[in-house]
Amino acid sequence: WNTEKKKLKSYPLISNYAGHIINVHPSLLPKFKGKGMFGQNVHKAVINAKEKESGVTVHLVDLGIDSGEILSQKSVSVDENETPDTLSKKIKDIRIPAIIDALKILQKRFWWICVSNTLVTLLFSQSWKSYLIHIISYSQYSNVLANNF
């Protein structure tokens, strides 16, 4: 774990903005986190562990891997005949509501949230610096977010 933490410290974006970047993780943290736990790997691990539920976690990025403050979680049931593909679809369907919940929590800590077609920016109330929080890769997500703020 210390080796992974040292690697994250070597990335200036992470070390300079830890606590000011959010990550959307495809499991209910603290389960199924860490090195290699992304995408289908997470869903396979959840199914192999015979979990009854999985979900998505939106958390602040820190110098650890998937160890930052959890802002929001949404869950789905894992069916007996679940596949990584079907679980992935369920998780994708709850991502935006989880992001919206997390941004509403952050909105209470910050002055305002600005949503555009490509990114979400929060203006930190104490230092008046603009921090990149989450890059939205699909324009329909930014439209959904813009309708909630």
Residue pLDDT tens, the chain, 149 long: 444 545 566 677 777 777 878 889 999 999 999 888 988 999 999 999 999 999 999 998 888 888 899 999 999 999 999 999 999 999 999 998 998 898 888 877 765 555 554 455 555 444 434 444 444 444 455 555 556 65
Contacts of 4 (CB under 8 A, 6+ apart): 34, 35, 64, 65
Tokens 């990114």, residue located = 119
Distance of CA 36 to the CA centre of its chain: 16
State the amino acid at position 23 in one-letter form. N
State the amino acid at position 89 in one-letter form. K
Residues 113, 107 contacting (CB under 8 angstroms): yes
What pLDDT, on a 0 to 100 scale, did the predictor assign at position 8?
Answer: 60
Global pTM? 0.75
What pLDDT, on a 0 to 100 scale, did the predictor assign at position 130?
Answer: 44
What pLDDT, on a 0 to 100 scale, did the predictor assign at position 77?
Answer: 98
- In DSSP notation, the chain reads -HHHHHHHHTSHHHHHHTTS-EEEESS-TTSS-STT-SHHHHHHHHHHTT-SEEEEEEEE--SSSS-SPEEEEEEEE--TT--HHHHHHHHHHHHHHHHHHHHHHHHHHSSEEEE-SSEEEEE-TTT--EEEEEE--SHHHHHHHHTT-
Which residues participate in catalysis according to the annotation? 25
